[in-house]
Amino acid sequence: QVQLEQSGAEVKKPGASVKVSCKASGYSFSSFDINWVRQATGQRPEWVGWLNPNNGNTGYAQKFQGRVSMTRDTSTSTAYMELNSLRSEDTAIYYCVRHSDFWTGSYNHDAFDVWGQGTLVTVSS
């Protein structure tokens, strides 16, 4: 079945980097953008950025520009998100999600239709 399998929990010190992986299965990896969304405890989900697995193009939320990098390995259908210069406010569950387009007859609507199980990243000294 279609699924996204993420790497395990991480504990990092402030200033360090973290790299989270997301392995896709059950569908054509190159056919759907992968987005990353994070959610801190008690907060609403927050979009981090997107990756086009076909050509490697990326786009990041302004607040993460210069600190985040999204890459992929098409040979293993795996997407990666690396976040640098970690601070305590980056403590959150990070989800990779599949971005799908849904044609409703009038417009092309997009949504996140498949979610990974989440990776808890804890930043603490």
Partner 1 sequence: DIQMTQSPSSLSASVGDRVTITCRADQFVRTFLNWYQHKSGSAPKLIIYAASTLQSGVPSRFSGSGSGTDFALTITNLQPEDFATYYCQQSSRSPHTFGQGTRLEI
Q: Which is nearer to partner 1, 118 or 122 (CB)?
A: 118
Indicate whether 82 belongs to the interface with partner 1 (CB under 8 A).
no
| Nearer Cβ to partner 1 (14/48) | 48
Q: Are 84 and 68 in contact (CB under 8 A)?
A: yes
Q: How far is it, in rounded angstroms, from Cα 50 to Cα 12?
A: 23
* Nearer residue to partner 1 within complex by CB, 55 or 107: 107
Nearer to partner 1, 75 or 104 (CB): 104
C-alpha to C-alpha distance for 33 and 95, rounded to whole angstroms: 14
The single residue among 9, 85, 102, 124 that binds partner 1, judged by CB under 8 A, is 102
Interactions with partner 1, residue window 27-56 (CB under 8 A): 44-47
Residues 6+ apart with CB under 8 A from 97: 4, 34, 35, 36, 37, 112, 114, 115, 116
Instruction: Using CB under 8 A, pick the residue from 15, 85, 113, 124 that binds partner 1.
Output: 113
- Give the 3-state secondary structure of residue 66: coil
Residue for token pair 């007859």: 105
Interface ranges with partner 1 (CB under 8 A) = 44-47, 59, 61, 95, 102, 104, 107, 109-113, 115-118
